[in-house]
Amino acid sequence: MSFLFTGTTGDHAGHSLITWAIARRLVEKGLKVGFMKPFGTHPINMEGLWTDRDVFLFKEVLNLQEPFNRICPYLLSEETWGLRETEEILDEIRSLAQELGKGKDVLIIMGSDHIFFDDVSRPVPEISLITRLESDFILVNRYRDISRSIYSILSVSSLLKDRLKGIMLNRVPTEKIKDIKDKMIPSLVREGVPPVIALPEDSALSFRSLGEIRERLDGKFLLEGTGPDRPVGGMTVGSADLTGELKMFKRAYNKIILLGSSDTETGGPPAPRPVAGIILTGGRNPAPRLLQIAEKANVPLILVHADTFAVLKRLEQNPSIISPKDEDKVRHMTELMDTDGALDRLLQSLGLIQ
């Protein structure tokens, strides 16, 4: 049984989705995969029990039988670890990891929001935990600029040395991919850094459902239309994408148009994008005529009390939450990670697959 630790430098790097993609590929290869997240980061209440959002996700997708409190022994609360010594906590987590790994080929251990220990709410530095577990480590880093990414990667490399086995450089702007592959990655290799997989920014991975948006905004459906599971790929306060009778919504000033995906490239002027739903802000109900038009077009309407600026800010600052329903997202991420066989080569270098 092997330990594989995935950690991140924070900044909404796609840690959960990338960890899921790795687990998914290992399962596809016939391995028995376990999961552990020692320190919770996003508590949720599931049927009266508090756990971590990622723990719920992986318990579902990996069909794990262990209880929540074993998979995640420390939620984000000082009450869960109190005044215990670091060495005692490290020993307990190592013992629990060995227990969770019984009967498994690999136990994936997921880190918290940031691998660098600079938060008093974390009782144990992740660097110390990785060392105590003698685990292989994969770093998930969100690309911001070349200098910041190189600094983060080299810092982790200097701390973990041979335990660092690979880096997922995520959300790289498409126009930067070539320079990253031709210049940045070769320079890191010369520094002795293990393989770096550069993953492009992809709007398909930032989709969220109408139901998730309604929940995030504490809104309510006036009309469900195509249903709360419909994916949303973008938003606009403009009216250029309103067609047919939906153009009447130009008269509703407090609105945000939610857009679906469109793969159509015409080569001409931009075509209207499909409308996935409309958010009505300010808490004011629309005129009866607008309700009739939306119902006829089967377009969901969400009513929220906050103003348009506050709603846009909340949506921009809170990225999509990964759920067990996001199989399409993880499949797409797996494909991006395995461009030219990169993911399989990484897992082969770890000795996990042939």
The torsion angles phi and psi of 252, rounded to 5 degrees, stand at: -90, 105
Name the DSSP class of 39. Answer: B
Top CATH class of 208-317 equals: alpha beta
pLDDT of residue 24: 96
pLDDT in tens, 36-68: 999 988 888 877 888 899 999 999 999 999 999
| pLDDT tens digits, 149-187 | 999 999 999 999 999 999 999 999 889 999 999 999 999
Single-letter amino acid, residue 187: S
| β-pair type (2-8, 136-142) | parallel
**Domain boundaries along the sequence of the chain:** 2-204+321-349, 208-317
Predicted TM-score (pTM) above 0.75:
yes
- Quick: pLDDT tens for 85-112: 888 889 999 999 999 999 999 999 999 8
For tokens 């880190």, the residue is 111
Kindly state the average pLDDT of the residues 275-288: 92
pLDDT at 117: 59
Average pLDDT of the segment spanning 271-284:
89
Helices 126-133 and 86-100 cross at an angle (nearest 10°) of 50
pLDDT score, position 43: 84
Angle formed at CA 151 by CA 198 and CA 337, multiple of 5 degrees: 15
Going by the DSSP 8-state scheme, the letter that residue 218 receives in this structure is T
Tell me how far apart the alpha carbons of residues 8 and 19 are, in angstroms, rounded to a whole number. Answer: 10
CATH dotted code for 2-204+321-349: 3.40.50.300
